[in-house]
Amino acid sequence: MATVLVTGGSGFVGSHCLLQLLAAGHVVRTTVRDAKREAGVRAMLAQGGAEPGDQLSFAVADLERDAGWAEAVAGCDYVLHVASPFPESLPKHEDELIVPAREGALRVLRAARDAGVKRVVLTSSFAAIGYGHPPQQAPFDETSWTQPEGADVLPYVKSKTLAERAAWDFIGREGSGLELSVVNPVGIFGPVLGPDYSTSILLVQRLMDGAMPGCPRLYFGVVDVRDVAALHLRAMTDPAAKGERFLAVAGDFLSIRDMAKTLKSRVGSAAKRAPTLQLPDWLVRLASLRDPAVKQILPELGKPKNATSEKARRVLGWTPRSSEDALVATAESLVRLGLLK
């Protein structure tokens, strides 16, 4: 079995990657920004059914600093670079997102190259694929790249795009034999292991709580976090994944109304009010329409998109759960952990 570093093991995707690596028998190390987070990570893994003991170790490293990365990657065969800095509040300037994301990826890649790591799997996003384009009927695939200077491209979207571009450029210029594969997930759902989970989970939480009085015409790709983790593991070792990017999406994009109907029919506690096309009250209450938080939502209203995971299925044999099953698993885990009102 291999020795694998997972950056950001305390996060939603990172914790599920840890679970699957441990189950496969790998020796695993994960980075946290503060050593005090080790107990929280082990608690999430226990929630997922794992008691790794000495099979899992921790390294303290921050994507915005050089210190700790040489030690974190030392002796590793592979690196899953899952962590990505994301501020709790909207940045005043886009560089507050772009610079940490880009420089963090390069910091991990340099350390991996210098340590003789075989391959890095980078967690990118559909954000690096499907934005800044004119409307199109065809599903987006891995040949598409977000146009960073396109109309309505938000700072987070730009940061993911520029970070992935920088990673590929680094491999081409300075990789010295280091291999790179990239996973580009859409909205990530599925079972949460604790109160620290991705922003997309908030959508299901609000629908289950009845906190959304309307269903704005927003469309999301859905994929289960367990399938995202599984795709990382396939991209880590499959020779065919070298130098490739893989979209992770379970099926056609869904509207918020589609999501609410699925939750109501299969879980029974989705939003009870009739869907409308207006902005939901919770969004309007954030501030006036000049508020940046509201502006982040407005550009995507009424813009259906779609994407395909045909490449991941064909090349890596990836078989994700359905979008509906991913949403239901999200809701059931929120109920189980007492995270609903």
Q: What is the CA radius of gyration of the chain?
A: 19
Residue whose C-alpha is closest to residue 133's, from 166, 164, 161, 169: 161
Buried b (16+ CB within 10 A) or exposed e, 300-328: beeeebbbbbebbeeebebebbebbbbbb
Based on the residue annotation, tell me whether 311 is a catalytic residue of this protein. no
Residue whose C-alpha is closest to residue 307's, from 161, 169, 184: 184
Q: Is the Cα dihedral 154, 91, 229, 108 positive or negative?
A: positive
Q: Are 203 and 259 in contact (CB under 8 A)?
A: yes
Q: Which residues contact 105 (CB under 8 A, 6 or more apart)?
A: 81, 122, 163, 164, 166, 167
Residue with the two structure tokens 């209203």: 301
Give the 3-state secondary structure of residue 7: strand
Residue with the two structure tokens 């990826």: 105
Buried b (16+ CB within 10 A) or exposed e, 107-138: bbbbbbbebebbbbbbbbbbbbbbbbbeeeee
Candidates 160, 261, 305, 311; catalytic one? 160
Q: Are 197 and 137 in contact (CB under 8 A)?
A: no
Q: What kind and span of H or E run contains 319?
A: none
Q: Which amino acid is at 111?
A: A
In whole angstroms, give the CA distance from residue 327 to residue 187: 11
Residues with catalytic function: 160
